Amino acid sequence: MYNFLQKMIVSGSLSALRAHLLLWPVFIAGFTADRLTKLWTLDRLGLPGSGQEVVVIENYLRFSTVFNPGAVWGAFASQTAFLLAVSFVAVCFIMAIFATSPRKAWHCHLACGMILAGAMGNIYDRLFNNGFVIDFIEVNLHFWPADPWPTFNIADSLLCVGVPILIIPMLLADIKASMASKNNTNQKPQ
C-alpha cells in the first residue's frame, strides 16, 4: 500500500486528483447556486414586468427579474446561436487550460471551476429559456460606471471573479520571468 501511494505521489496522480477535487466541487456549487437563485427569482419575483421586487439595501441593491436576450450590457441581443457558439468555445478553451495547467496551480483550478459554472449557467438559460438569460441582481452605487450597473446573476458574478483569478497569476508569472530574463542578460560578462 505504501509503495502504491508513493508511486501516485511521484507520478503526479495525487496532484491531478487534487486539481479535480477543486475544479468539480467549485463547478457544481457555482452552477447549483446559479440555477437555484434563478428558480427562486422566477418563483418569488415572477416574470419581467410583474412589478415584484425585493429591496435588499434601499437605493443600492435590489432583486427583480430581467430576461436578457444578449450578453453583457445586452450586446449581441437576440443572437442566441452566436452567443451559444462563443460560450461552447469558451468552455472548451477553459477545459484545455485546466488539462494543461500545472497540477499545483490551485488558483487556475479554482478559476476554471468558477468560469465553467458561470458559462454553463448562462448556456443552460439560453438553451431552455428561449435564448434569454435570467438576470435579477440590480446594483446602483450612484457613481459611474455603476449608476446603475447592468442587471446580472450568479453566473455572471462567477465569470467576473473567475477570469481575473485565472489571468492575474499568469500575467504576474510573465512579468517575473521577464524580469529574471533581464537580470540574467545584465549579469553576463562581456
Residues designated catalytic: 135, 156
Phi, psi (rounded to 5 degrees) for 60: -125, -40
Q: What size, in residues, is the chain?
A: 190
Q: Give the Cα separation of 174 and 166 in Å (integer).
A: 13
Measured between alpha carbons, how far is 62 from 172 in angstroms, rounded to an integer? 36
How many angstroms separate the CA atoms of 101 and 146, rounded?
35
* Residue 40 in grid coordinates: 427562486
Distances (CA, A) of 178 to 173, 181, 182: 8, 5, 6
